[in-house]
């Protein structure tokens, strides 16, 4: 290879330096499979096949083998190994890891450049959304008419569980993954994330989790729903073990990513980038990351205990042996509700960023919006029991939890007012990203207000476990977070590719997704109000029409998402060139060249003004 | 946002060690914060199960001691209510002592490393001692985990091994501790090797402090766990 480099004018990666420079996604898959098979064989050989939870133990050990092998195969442990042997990375190693002169190959390997990791996250998010969306189509097709058996009940339940978890994972990373990686370091004036290797580790750990989650479908699935309700989860097959191991793996990924984001923002800001000059998206990402650090350890613990009950004979959640299902619910929702805001805040931050740029106005009440986000995060850790109003757990606490849940509408309303205040009398430039902002405003009103209904105990007693709840949280996740994620994609796409996302296809996509979302979930509200329970694969004929409408709406959403996918792919190389700052934005990521150089800035900038000093003439694209 | 270029700004590859150290310090504290939440979740589990004492089964179980099973198998046993005693606290506190000593050794080693240019050899000695002590902690912790009583219980038509809910949480604490102690051993061994290769030295001691932070946190978490498990174990 050395001679090739010497005689070639084309930049090519220098492959010297040992085996770790030959590791990539392919070697990761091979190593993952090999280690999984070895782990499976060892487990089969050493464990007592008549013992309690033998199958679960084998499955968990196999999953661990897969993750370890995959990480070894991608090169995630190379730096750690070098640290232990006292042979730290050289500058050449660092440049290799950063993907210097590596061309497209850097997207297929353990690359530390935050922009590459951001693009990798875009692809991973699309895969997660695509897989979760296909399962949603399966679910909705099954519910097209009463007694329709597109899939059997066991598969239907597994579809529900895996769809739920895939979408939750997708939305957790949908904004924070691509954009907290790609733009946040540039926005704060840094050359990279605080811990570039941990950054790549978080991405590839997430990638390692996906086959576990999808693989759970192949080994019987998890028919307990995404909340993995105990003690009934003990009755699920080994698919549950893979499902839980996927979550445990994911919690490692997201914890690492959260630490990295916070450290980057707190310690790597360039001179003059005070906390009061941080773009609002940076605030949103940081608060979400901090909230994630609080929430996800609960996820790790509850899944570990769930697996332990299945394979070790422990009794955390088994009432007949001294445990209680309420413990599982508490631990799960201690994570589960803050997680909603881990998902929501980055999307809101991105939409606020878009709004101020396209309304050509300073962000309305910058400090208040930060206080609103902090208030959301703070209150979100005090509301978890509203998910348990109907379970009989601690009825005396119902009132306080109802109040805290209703109080959370205050910071939410504040953020909403900031958004509207920024739009108010703005010189609004209706380009593609703004469509998603207006879609968000419309949908989030519905999702938010129905949440206030459900926080009320008497209403919740009627609505809990119905399709009304499903419609509510889909308005929040699809109608709000997904809209925020797509808006962010449309907004920052020119910075990633140097080209505009096809405006015409993007608008077609918007209208399809917007109409589809409202058709699907408004009809679902009606199903819920009529009393249709959630998680049922078959239903009474009185719910037929609303379900048919919901299914048609879901197909329309899927069509819109496919159009968006087409736009993303076709615009990547053939879109209209955008230049470095097509929107005339004033935040730092738009002031660097496109494509962004390896270390972002030739010399680090010094910031002397706030980020949103708009009001001057608009820059045309 | 007005931007001026700072010609004197330093490249990312030439950051002062103090700058990198500050960043890594924040990172390690955040990881420790996450670990604190995990420990908090386990403590919540322990106190919750003890508090609700479902069916009076916090420390009792309907079954048969696992050691009572003969080659005839579990089919022959008649389930009775078995009451467990809290595990002996001596081993628990011995583990605490070992981990505290281990953390102290690492702290002393770091002090010696920072104190003089000749401190590297002493640091290696302390790091080795701290690492060996952590290995002892692992051995003791494994012993404790193996001592958590297991029972045969009837479940539908079969008999299965099970732990009481008290035993379950003690087991979880134990396994969590083993995982953390293994991390300590790896970090201690890493520091020992790095000091030997002069990567850690009088001028470059920052990583020793980062590891010490984690080491001390593990010692603190072991103390907290021991206090809870030994003082708050019975229902009444």
The ranges assigned to domains in chain B are 25-231
* B123 within 8 A of B113, measured Cβ to Cβ: yes
The answer to whether B227 faces chain A, any CB pair under 8 Å, is no
pLDDT for A272 equals: 96
Label residue B4 by pLDDT band (50, 70, 90): low
Considering only A135-139, A436-440, B161-165, B231-235, which range has the smallest mean pLDDT?
B231-235
- What domains, with CATH codes, occur in chain A? 1-80 (no CATH), 111-590 (1.20.210.10)
The answer to whether A202 faces chain B, any CB pair under 8 Å, is no
Q: Show which of residues 58-97 on chain A sit within 8 Å of chain B, judged by CB atoms.
A: 83-88, 91, 94
CA distance B219 to chain A (A): 20
Q: Show which of residues 161-190 on chain A sit within 8 Å of chain B, judged by CB atoms.
A: 190
Residue B162 to residue A330, Cβ atoms within 8 A: no
CA distance B11 to chain A (A): 8
Query: Looking at the DSSP assignment, which residues form a beta bridge with residue A606?
Result: B4
Residue A323 to residue B11, Cβ atoms within 8 A: no
Residues 6+ apart with CB under 8 A from A276: A366, A367, A610
Residue B1 to residue A277, Cβ atoms within 8 A: yes
Dihedral of alpha carbons A119, A121, A124, A126, sign:
negative
pLDDT at A138 over 60: yes
CA distance B146 to chain A (A): 13
Residues of B whose CB is below 8 A from A331: 41, 44-45
- Which of A194, A267, A316 is the closest to B45 by Cβ? A316
pLDDT at A252 over 90: yes
d(CA B64, CA B150): 9
Average pLDDT over residues A12-35: 82
Residue B48 to residue A591, Cβ atoms within 8 A: no
- Which of A51, A268, A316 is the closest to B168 by Cβ? A316
Q: Which residue of A has its CA nearest to B35?
A: A297
- Estimate to the nearest angstrom the gap between the alpha carbon of A80 and the chain centroid: 27
pLDDT at A397 over 60: yes
Residues of B whose CB is below 8 A from A330: 44, 48
Q: Which residue of A has its CA nearest to B191?
A: A84
The answer to whether B38 faces chain A, any CB pair under 8 Å, is yes
pLDDT at A560 over 50: yes
Q: Is B201 exposed, middle or buried (0-12, 13-18, 19+ CB in 10 A)?
A: middle
Tens-place pLDDT, residues A328-342: 999 999 999 999 999
CB atoms under 10 Å from CB of A5, counted, come to 15
Q: Which residue of B has its CA nearest to A587?
A: B1
CA distance B163 to chain A (A): 5
CA distance B93 to chain A (A): 24
pLDDT for B16 equals: 82
d(CA A121, CA A462): 40
* A411 within 8 A of A375, measured Cβ to Cβ: yes
pLDDT for A7 equals: 36
CA distance B57 to chain A (A): 4
Residues 6+ apart with CB under 8 A from A280: A349, A352, A353, A356, A363, A366, A369, A370, A611
pLDDT at B160 over 90: no
Residue A322 to residue B166, Cβ atoms within 8 A: yes
CA distance A515 to chain B (A): 37
Residue B168 to residue A300, Cβ atoms within 8 A: no
- Which of A88, A255, A610 is the closest to B1 by Cβ? A610
Residue A314 to residue B172, Cβ atoms within 8 A: yes
Average pLDDT over residues A425-432: 94
Strands B60-65 and B3-5: unpaired
pLDDT at A616 over 60: no
The answer to whether B139 faces chain A, any CB pair under 8 Å, is no
Q: Angle, to 10 degrees, between the axis of helix A325-358 and the axis of helix B17-52?
A: 140
Residue A314 to residue B48, Cβ atoms within 8 A: no
pLDDT at B110 over 80: yes
Label residue B8 by pLDDT band (50, 70, 90): very low
Spell A195-204 as b/e; 16+ CB within 10 A means b: bbbbbbbbbb
pLDDT for B73 equals: 56
Residues of B whose CB is below 8 A from A263: 23, 26-27, 30
- Which of B23, B60, B162 is the closest to A267 by Cβ? B23
pLDDT for A510 equals: 98
* A107 within 8 A of A120, measured Cβ to Cβ: yes
pLDDT for A88 equals: 85
Q: Angle, to 10 degrees, between the axis of helix B17-52 and the axis of helix A239-267?
A: 140
pLDDT at B159 over 50: yes
Label residue B5 by pLDDT band (50, 70, 90): low
Superfamily of chain region B25-231: Cytochrome c oxidase, subunit III, four-helix bundle (1.20.120.80)
Residue B34 to residue A51, Cβ atoms within 8 A: no
Residues of B whose CB is below 8 A from A196: none
Considering only A7-16, A324-333, A569-578, which range has the smallest mean pLDDT?
A7-16
pLDDT for A12 equals: 45
> Which ranges in B81-164 belong to alpha helices (H)?
89-115, 119-147
Residue A271 to residue B9, Cβ atoms within 8 A: yes
Q: Show which of residues 172-191 on chain B sit within 8 Å of chain A, judged by CB atoms.
A: 172, 186, 189-190
Label residue A276 by pLDDT band (50, 70, 90): very high
Identify the residue with better confidence: B13 or B141.
B141
Label residue B236 by pLDDT band (50, 70, 90): low
Q: What are A334's two structure tokens?
A: 């201690």
The answer to whether B49 faces chain A, any CB pair under 8 Å, is yes
Identify the residue with better confidence: B8 or B107.
B107
Residues of B whose CB is below 8 A from A586: 1
Residue A321 to residue B53, Cβ atoms within 8 A: no
- Of A487, A588, A593, A53, nearest to A268 by C-alpha is A588
Average pLDDT over residues A240-246: 96
The answer to whether B89 faces chain A, any CB pair under 8 Å, is no
The answer to whether B6 faces chain A, any CB pair under 8 Å, is yes
pLDDT at A214 over 70: yes
Going from the C-alpha of A500 to that of each of A186, A487, B85, the distances in angstroms are 20, 13, 70
Q: From the candidates B19, B32, B41, which should be mutated to test the interface with A, based on the most A CB atoms within 10 A?
A: B41
Tens-place pLDDT, residues B84-108: 889 888 999 999 999 999 999 999 9
CA distance B222 to chain A (A): 18
Considering only A573-577, B85-89, B187-191, which range has the smallest mean pLDDT?
B85-89
Reported ipTM: the value is: 0.92
Label residue A19 by pLDDT band (50, 70, 90): confident
Residues of B whose CB is below 8 A from A262: 26, 30
Tens-place pLDDT, residues A74-108: 999 998 999 999 888 888 888 989 988 888 999 99
pLDDT at B177 over 70: yes
Q: Show which of residues 8-67 on chain A sit within 8 Å of chain B, judged by CB atoms.
A: 51-52
pLDDT for A618 equals: 47
Q: What are A299's two structure tokens?
A: 């996820």
Percentage of chain A beyond pLDDT 90 is: 83
Residue A263 to residue B27, Cβ atoms within 8 A: yes
pLDDT at A473 over 90: yes
pLDDT for A101 equals: 85
- Which of A86, A266, A305 is the closest to B172 by Cβ? A305
pLDDT at A565 over 50: yes
Q: CA angle at residue A604 from B19 to A183, to 5 degrees?
A: 90
Residue B1 to residue A611, Cβ atoms within 8 A: yes
pLDDT for A148 equals: 87
Q: Which residue of A has its CA nearest to B151?
A: A313
Question: Which of A8-22, A388-402, A516-530, B195-209 has the highest average model confidence (pLDDT)?
Answer: A516-530
pLDDT at A6 over 70: no
Residues of A whose CB is below 8 A from B55: 319-320, 322
């Amino acid at each position: 290879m050395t001679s090739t480099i010497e005689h070639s004018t084309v930049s090519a990666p220098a492959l010297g330096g040992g085996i770790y420079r030959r590791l990539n996604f392919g070697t990761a898959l091979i190593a993952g499979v090999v280690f999984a098979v070895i782990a499976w064989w060892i487990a089969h050989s050493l464990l007592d096949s008549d013992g309690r939870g033998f199958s679960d133990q084998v499955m968990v050990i196999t999953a661990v083998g897969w993750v370890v092998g995959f990480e070894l195969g991608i090169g995630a442990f190379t730096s750690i190994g070098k640290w232990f042997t006292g042979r730290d990375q050289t500058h050449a190693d660092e440049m290799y890891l950063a993907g210097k002169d590596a061309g497209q190959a850097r997207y297929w390997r353990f690359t530390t450049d935050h922009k590459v990791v951001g693009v990798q996250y875009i692809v991973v998010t699309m895969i997660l959304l695509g897989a979760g969306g296909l399962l949603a189509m399966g679910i909705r097709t099954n519910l097209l008419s009463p007694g329709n058996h597109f899939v059997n009940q066991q598969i239907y339940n597994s579809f529900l569980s895996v769809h739920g978890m895939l979408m939750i994972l997708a939305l957790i990373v949908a904004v924070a993954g691509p954009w907290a990686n790609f733009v946040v370091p540039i926005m704060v004036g840094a050359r990279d994330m605080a811990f570039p290797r941990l950054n790549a580790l978080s991405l590839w750990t997430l990638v390692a989790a996906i086959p576990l989650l999808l693989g759970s479908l192949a080994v019987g699935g998890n028919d307990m729903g995404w909340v993995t309700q105990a003690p009934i989860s003990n009755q699920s097959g080994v698919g549950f073990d893979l499902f839980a191991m996927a979550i445990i793996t994911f919690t490692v990924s997201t914890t690492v990513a959260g630490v990295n984001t916070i450290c980057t923002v707190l310690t790597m800001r360039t001179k003059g980038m005070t906390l009061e000059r941080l773009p609002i998206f940076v605030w949103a990402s940081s608060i979400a990351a901090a909230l994630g650090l609080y929430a996800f350890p609960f996820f790790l613990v509850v899944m570990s205990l769930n697996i332990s009950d299945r394979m070790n004979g422990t009794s955390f959640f088994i009432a007949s042996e001294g445990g209680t299902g309420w413990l599982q619910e508490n631990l799960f929702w201690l994570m589960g509700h803050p997680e909603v805001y881990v998902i929501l805040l980055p999307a809101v931050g991105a939409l606020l960023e878009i709004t101020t740029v396209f309304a050509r106005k300073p962000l309305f009440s910058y400090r208040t919006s930060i206080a609103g986000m902090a208030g959301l995060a703070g209150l979100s850790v005090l509301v978890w029991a509203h998910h348990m109003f109907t379970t009989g757990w601690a009825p005396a606490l119902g009132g306080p939890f109802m109040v805290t849940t209703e109080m959370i509408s205050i910071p939410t309303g504040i953020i909403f007012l900031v958004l509207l205040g920024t739009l108010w009398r703005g010189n609004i430039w209706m380009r593609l990203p703004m469509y998603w902002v207006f879609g968000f405003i419309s949908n989030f009103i519905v999702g938010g207000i129905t949440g206030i209904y459900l926080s009320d105990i008497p209403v919740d007693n009627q609505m809990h476990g119905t399709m009304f709840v499903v419609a509510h949280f889909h308005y929040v996740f699809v109608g709000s977070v997904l809209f925020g994620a797509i808006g962010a994609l449309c907004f920052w796409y020119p910075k990633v590719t140097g080209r505009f996302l096809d405006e015409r296809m993007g608008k077609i996509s918007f209208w399809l997704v917007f109409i589809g979302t409202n058709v699907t979930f408004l009809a679902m509200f009606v199903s819920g109000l009529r009393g249709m329970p959630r998680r049922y694969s078959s239903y009474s004929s009185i719910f037929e029409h609303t379900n048919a409408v919901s299914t048609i709406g879901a197909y329309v959403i899927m069509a819109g998402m496919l159009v968006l996918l087409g736009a993303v792919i076709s615009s990547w190389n053939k879109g209209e060139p955008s230049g470095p700052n097509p929107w005339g934005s004033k935040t730092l990521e738009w002031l660097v060249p496109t494509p962004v150089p390896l270390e972002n800035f030739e010399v680090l900038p010094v910031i002397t003004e706030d980020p949103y000093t708009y009001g001057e003439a608009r820059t045309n694209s | 946002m007005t931007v001026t270029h700072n010609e004197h700004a330093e490249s990312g590859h030439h950051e002062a060690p103090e700058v990198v150290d500050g960043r890594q310090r924040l990172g390690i504290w955040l990881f420790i914060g996450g670990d604190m939440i995990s420990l908090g979740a386990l403590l919540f589990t322990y106190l919750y199960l003890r508090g609700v004492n479902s069916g009076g089964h916090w420390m009792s179980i309907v079954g048969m001691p696992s050691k009572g099973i003969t080659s005839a198998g579990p089919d022959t046993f008649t389930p009775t209510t078995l009451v467990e005693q809290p595990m002996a606290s001596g081993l628990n506190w011995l583990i605490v002592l070992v981990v505290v000593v281990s953390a102290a050794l690492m702290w002393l080693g770091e002090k010696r490393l920072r104190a003089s240019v000749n401190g590297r050899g002493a640091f290696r000695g302390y790091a080795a001692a701290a690492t060996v002590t952590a290995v002892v902690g692992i051995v003791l912790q494994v012993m404790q985990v193996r001592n958590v009583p297991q029972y045969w219980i009837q479940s539908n038509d079969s008999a299965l091994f099970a732990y009481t809910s008290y035993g379950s949480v003690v087991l979880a604490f134990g396994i969590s501790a083993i995982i953390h102690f293994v991390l300590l051993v790896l970090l201690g061994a890493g520091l020992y090797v790095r000091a030997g290769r002069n990567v850690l030295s009088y001028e470059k001691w920052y990583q020793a402090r980062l590891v010490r932070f984690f080491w001390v946190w593990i010692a603190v978490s072991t103390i907290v766990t021991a206090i809870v498990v030994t003082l708050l174990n019975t229902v009444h």
